[in-house]
A and B are shown apart, each in its own frame.
Chain A
Amino acid sequence: VALSKVFGSLRKELHDTLSTCKVLVVGAGGIGCELLKNLVLTGFKNIEVIDLDTIDVSNLNRQFLFQKKHVGKSKAQVAKESVLQFCPTVNITAYHDSIMNPDYNVEFFRNFMLVMNALDNRAARNHVNRMCLAADIPLIESGTAGYLGQVTVIKKGLTECYECQPKPTQKTFPGCTIRNTPSEPIHCIVWAKYLFNQLFGEEDADQEVSPDTADPEAAWNPEDTAARATASENDGDIKRVSTKDWARSTGYDAVKLFHKLFKDDIMYLLTMDKLWKTRKAPTPLVWQQLEDSASPQELSAGSGLKDQQVLGVWGLCQLFQHSVETLRSQLQEMGEGAELVWDKDDPPAMDFVTAAANLRMHIFSMNTKSRFDVKSMAGNIIPAIATTNAVIAGLIVLEGLKILSGELESCRTIFLNKCPNLRKKLLVPCILDPPIANCYVCASKPEVMVKLNVHKTTVLSLQDRILKERFGMVAPDVQIEDGKGTILISSEEGETETNNSKFLADFGIRNGSRLQVDDFLQDYTLLVNVLHTEELERDVEFEVVGEAPDKAPSPQTTPEEVNSVTNGNKDSAQPSTSSKAEDDDIMIVDSEEENEGASSSTAAATSGTKRKHSDAETGETSTKRPRTDQSSAAAAPTDDDDDDDIITLD
């Protein structure tokens, strides 16, 4: 009731605070647009907004500050202009930039009384979390996915930080699964996206698509693996020319490409016979045979809903041919040295991935998928609508008002359900949890233990895979605690690059070594304890001790669940608030649980203990998250305890 006094008519003190304080909105997408409007109409006068992204057609169904004529322009800039049109008296500063840019340092964050995230990727969320901890500024974190959403408040020392609860690491797929032994559609889709980059885009050594001759599973013994690996490196004949150069030399002849990818490479894979002892062997495809045996139906390409249709093999061949030709001419028009960037909303790029992925699925005896479904998985698309964003942005501002009136203790984490749960609640507010004592981000002396093989881990992969990707740093400096203070990695350009290709053991790092890692921008120091091991699984580079290893994605992946099994594109530590291939307004706060909640009882069990919902106002107590709540209840009528789609809770 005390609060209502403050809010009810927005008493003068709060009103004054609003008109003088400066706030930062990170992201001008689905939630960001709503949030800017709400802030302005609630009386906030000084707002800064940052977003790296430009406006796309698929934003227009909800990002109401943008119109068709704005497509391609800066989101932050257009959002600012649209708001000013309606409310000319407020001060809005717009940055078309990445929040991870070093210009936005701790000093910058200290300018604000409140920071509100309206982000779509975990890397940026982690980063803003650290910046707000370093600057000791309260942060409101939020996210939506379809009909679901949530809002939470983060304040140094008082609440959990964004990284207190370990989020399952993004599923990245082992190289040999992608290149040699795909067993799920997502493997083929990832392969097809790699292929797009190899052929038309920026080549990346981590995105090889040809058979991996060094697959440890294929070889008889370790020596043999090594021998094969060397052989393939020295192999001048087969594919030492880059895929792109080769494709260019054929003039991007679709049939020639087809035969290399779907016949020759597959035949080569078949020679690695050890792989097919237990697996169903792939079947190479021959263009002419497919054309000859195509059914008349298939020849007259189907009408109707192209997007939802599952094409036959010959239909896929035609789609492949057609999209290769379109992409080739796009590339030609752009001139020498041009590269295409894969974008799920670019029709020929999407057609290409649909065709290539499906042909590979067919070869590996998987059920093919419609373009609509492939798009969901390839683009990590999370459905997004205006209504959910409106609700969430409304909740954010109310939490913000509580913070600004010094009522932090009445702030809540709020979950928005798809429909009222069994207790008839659409919203489930939960009391904020205190920080986790040994959080590797917000603890007073953060420390982690990492299992790796010091003879096989290079300095570069320590930097890129472990420190940047896994621990979310932007520019780490690493010093070995060896009594000499050896600098292993320096964030200054040109100082330690020569170390990159060397192994950790080369620097005397062994079991029990300690590394002091600093990120100057984030004002963050982490002590890494190295545990040397020779026993990591195939293609696993390292393991963080005390965390469940990555779980393989469930085979029945529905579009809704896809974002938990992305191929590192969404949540990789790329320094951007959102890159072209990403979608906006994605819920990352606990989203993995959200997504796995329906199919994985372990996820439900951990989340069950995680949240203490004790809602004083309604006298409600519950230790379950709202979503799992529903599923467990709905599952109750069935009699058993161990079925796959049933969750047992508490």
Chain B
Amino acid sequence: MAATKASKEQKYDRQLRLWGDHGQESLESAHVCLINATATGTEILKNLVLPGIGAFTIVDGHTVSGEDVGNNFFLSNNSIGKNRAQAATELLQELNSDVSGNFVEESPNKLLDNNPEFFNRFTIVIGVQLPESTCLRLDSVLWSASVPFLVCKSYGLIGYMRLVVQEHSVIESHPDNALEDLRLNQPFAELKNHIQSYDLDSMDKKDHSHTPWIIIVAKHLERWLSEHNLQPPKNYKEKEAFRQFIREGIRKKENGVPEDEENFEEAIKNVNTALNPTKIPSTVEDLFNSEECNDVTSQTPSFWVMLRAVKEFALNEGNGSLPVRGTIPDMIADSQKFINLQNVYREKAMQDAAAVSKHVECLLQSIGKVGYSTYIANRRCRCLGKNSSFLRVVRCRSLAEEYSVDTVNKDEITSSMDNPDSEMVFYLMLRSVDRFYQQHSRYPGVYNYQVEDDISKLKLCVNSLLQEYSLNVNIKDDYIHEFCRYGAAEPHTVAAFLGGSAAQEAIKIISHQFVPFNNTFIYNAMSQTSATLQL
């Protein structure tokens, strides 16, 4: 077992540096369903099998054709005539022996007819090159089962993704420029004591120049507050004055020239970071105020129970603040001083996490849930505590909402279409092509001799779509011609692009790390542009 772990650590080393061991664990316990092993489908799955998902199941009722082999790396000439799910599973399985591959030789429609619960078991369902009607059926089944659904399509030079998830919680959103959580404006008791233990004036020179900047700022802030009616420096001018105040704390040589104290320079540089007031971010405040957080019942998902516990913490032990994050940036200091300071924050973070954990226990008891693993709870609470300012909940609309005349997001569509070449036009074209398929049971332009005929037929579909939704927008004829020319082709390089981006979104969903897009993504391979739309 230990050996396996070590070899996995080696194999996955480069990705563990992005999502950590726990991200990898989530990945390894995920079961992904792919509907349709087309080029786009197998490319997506390849990028999930390589980093090591637990299992996949391919659902596909098609038989492999020569055309499939032409653009799909995971189907070979020998697979022609075989079921596509089976053939692709065999080759994808070879990529990673840690992944278990399964297949179902049936069309999704048939499964939906006979066994709609089939799809409930998956961590995520990825549907590729599906007609509108099947998408809508899956949408309804998966929406009520709370299984995330990712719809993907490569159509000529256009890539399309749509994420359908009722609610997706993100504990580790990995923001790019997270502010530090230092609590200098309202130090907790242990931090106060620790600051007290320093006396900058009586230190010898070396200790003085190896005191962490956090202590330096805290010490100067204390004195500043007492001299300024307990008001911290607020605006630029006051902060400048505060910086000057710190600068005066630098030791002087006998000749009056200031010593070269890098830690003080660091303190001056970090004044903004240090004075950043401790407060609950509005995104988290909103979550606290939401119904799910306040009405915890036995049906409430664990994320909300934990969130409620964090809220309870903030209202009680936290005195209006979130749990302490417990990490401090690297800084100039000698090891001992740094470690001591780090421990003050770390221990406080552990304490806070334990308090949150207690609240979780109480809440669970109050809703009659027992036997919940406290081990897991403790570990998750620590993670939650560390990330409490970055918690995010993504709520997408269902496809049903997007497609209904009553709930269509007309504003987003019409405002984007102010620019007639915006990526929105491709969304409208894809919808029109779907409509074409519904009416003719084939896509426009698949046969060369029909292209001209199909152009006028597709134009009718475009117009009926716009009419149905009373969209007062103009779609250039060029786009209609172009979509006919595509002939529903699935060029490999577009499939490869989408394979990468869709797998990335799936990993976000599975690991609950990083924020997925909400809710539609369009890629235009012609101009190499992309856009996300909220539909």
Contacts and interface: CB of A to CB of B under 8 A. Distances in A.
A379 to B, nearest CB: 9
A391 interface: yes
Contacts of A16: none
Nearest to A151: B528
Given A34-B496, A385-B15, A643-B272, A3 B526 contact: yes
Interface stretch (A61-69, A323-331, A510-518): A61-69
A383 B236 contact: no
Contact of A383 (B17, B276, B331, B491): B17
A598 B95 contact: no
Interface residues of A, number: 94
A280 B206 contact: yes
Interface residues of B, number: 99
B12 interface: yes
A386 interface: yes
Contacts of B334: 280, 365
Given A9-B487, A86-B73, A365-B210, A427 B528 contact: yes
A376 B526 contact: no
Interface stretch (B45-53, B126-134, B316-324, B353-361): B45-53
A58 B13 contact: yes
Contacts, number: 259
Contact of B176 (A61, A557, A634): A634
A555 B332 contact: yes
A368 interface: yes
Contact of B273 (A281, A367, A583, A643): A643
A388 interface: yes
Contacts of A341: none
A598 B157 contact: no
Given A64-B50, A598-B176, A617-B421, A383 B496 contact: no
Interface stretch (B193-201, B375-383, B501-509): B501-509
A425 B530 contact: yes
Contacts of A305: 21
B286 interface: no
Nearest to A420: B532
Contact of B47 (A147, A387, A583): A387
Given A4-B156, A4-B485, A419 B335 contact: no
A378 to B, nearest CB: 13
Contacts of A5: 482, 485
A458 interface: no
A427 B423 CA distance: 13
Nearest to A413: B528
A61 B14 contact: yes
Contacts of A382: 14
Nearest to A400: B493
A366 B335 contact: yes
Given A1-B478, A4-B157, A41-B492, A362 B335 contact: yes
Interface string B309-353: 000000000000000000001111111101100100000000000
Interface string B480-504: 0010011101011111111111011
A38 B496 contact: yes
Contacts of B421: 617-618
A549 B531 CA distance: 40
A61 B487 contact: no
Contact of B500 (A37, A278, A394, A618): A394
B22 to A, nearest CB: 11
A345 interface: yes
Contacts of B504: 147, 387-388, 391
A482 interface: no
Interface stretch (B217-225, B299-307, B402-410, B515-523): B515-523
Interface in A612-627: 615, 617-619
A627 to B, nearest CB: 9
B514 interface: yes
A104 interface: no
A628 B5 CA distance: 38
Given A280-B210, A391-B497, 6 more contacts: A8-B482, A62-B15, A307-B9, A388-B504, A419-B517, A426-B521
Interface of B: 6-7, 9-15, 17-18, 21, 39, 43, 46-47, 50-52, 70-73, 76, 94-97, 156-157, 175-177, 179, 206, 209-210, 235-236, 239, 259-260, 266, 269-273, 276, 329-336, 338-339, 342, 419, 421-423, 478, 482, 485-487, 489, 491-501, 503-504, 507, 514-515, 517, 521, 523-533
